[in-house]
Amino acid sequence: MRVQIFDVEHGFCAYVVTDSGNVTLIDAGHNSDTGFRPSRYLPANGCSGIEQLVVSNYDEDHISDLPGLVRSPGIQTLARNRSINAEQLERLKRSGGPIASGMRALLDLMRTYTADAAPIDWAGATFTFFSNPYPTFTETNDLSLVTFLDYRDVHMVFPGDLEKAGWRALLQKPDFRTALAGVKLFVASHHGRENGYYPEVFNICKPQLVLVSDEPVKYDTQDVDYTQHASGMRFTDGMRYVLTTRADGMITISQAPWSRRSESSPVAALKGIHPQA
pLDDT tens-digit map of 144-160 = 999 999 999 999 999 99
Contact 264, 255 (CB under 8 A): yes
Integer CA distances (angstroms), 161 to 12, 107, 131, 147, 211, in order:
10, 19, 11, 12, 14
At residue 74 the predicted structure's pLDDT band, cuts being 50, 70 and 90, is: confident
User: Stretch 121-148: mean pLDDT, rounded?
Assistant: 98
Residue 272 has pLDDT above 70, yes or no: no
For position 276, what pLDDT does the model report? 46
At residue 270 the predicted structure's pLDDT band, cuts being 50, 70 and 90, is: low
Give me the percent of the chain exceeding a pLDDT of 70.
Answer: 94
Separation of CA 96 from chain center: 24
Q: Give dist(CA 238, CA 236) in Å, integer.
A: 6
Q: Give dist(CA 22, CA 49) in Å, integer.
A: 8
The residues, ordered by sequence, that sit 6+ positions from 95 with a Cβ below 8 Å of its Cβ are none
What pTM did the predictor assign?
Answer: 0.94
Of 23, 25, 27, 24, which Cα lies nearest the Cα of 12?
A: 27
Cα diameter, the chain? 53
- Residue range 162-214, pLDDT digits in tens: 999 999 999 999 999 999 999 999 999 999 999 999 999 999 999 999 999 99
Tell me, what amino acid is at 151?
Y
23-32, 65-74, 102-111, 187-196: least confidently modelled range: 65-74
User: Stretch 223-228: mean pLDDT, rounded?
Assistant: 95
Domains and CATH numbers, the chain: 2-270 (3.60.15.10)
